[in-house]
Amino acid sequence: MRALGRHVLAEFYGCPFEVLNDLKKVESMMIKAALEAGAEVREFVFHKFSPQGVSGVVVISESHLAIHTWPELGYAAVDVFTCGEKVNPWDACNYLADCFQTSNMDAKEIERGTDVLVPQAAC
């Protein structure tokens, strides 16, 4: 049975504080990652925390990209969830790993909606 979507859960380690703590940089990189993967961006919202950290989401026609950063730890948690055949979540994830200058990435892919019965064409 086919999955409805692919969800990459990534952890970025060893990222520079100044990159993880810059709202505009994080926002720009997340939007560009969606576009690099071939997604259609619908909306986005990002928030800067005090004293540090950024969270945000990019809503795409194919699902979403989300991030939360801990600049003081050099760490970011990233989700890239895509549906359909057009967008590869790994393209966005690898693009972000480069942008965030991560020294180590731990990532895994989860297939979503594998138990949903998808109607098959009549024989």
pLDDT tens digit string along 12-59?
Answer: 999 999 999 999 999 999 999 999 999 999 999 999 999 999 999 999
Q: Answer yes or no: 63 catalytic.
A: yes
In a domain, 91, yes or no: yes
Domain count, the chain: 1
Q: Answer yes or no: 83 catalytic.
A: yes
CATH, residue 99 = 3.60.90.10
Q: Answer yes or no: 99 catalytic.
A: no
Phi-psi domain of 74 (left: phi exceeds 0; alpha: psi -120 through 50; beta: other):
left
pTM, rounded to two decimals? 0.90
Tokens of 25: 């940089």
In a domain, 32, yes or no: yes
In a domain, 63, yes or no: yes
In a domain, 44, yes or no: yes
In a domain, 70, yes or no: yes
The predicted pLDDT at position 115 comes to 79
Closest CA to 7 of 116, 109, 87: 109
Could you list the residue range(s) of the whole structural domain that residue 59 is in? 5-112
Mean pLDDT across the stretch 80-85?
A: 93
In a domain, 118, yes or no: no
The predicted pLDDT at position 35 comes to 97
The pLDDT of residue 4 is above 80:
yes
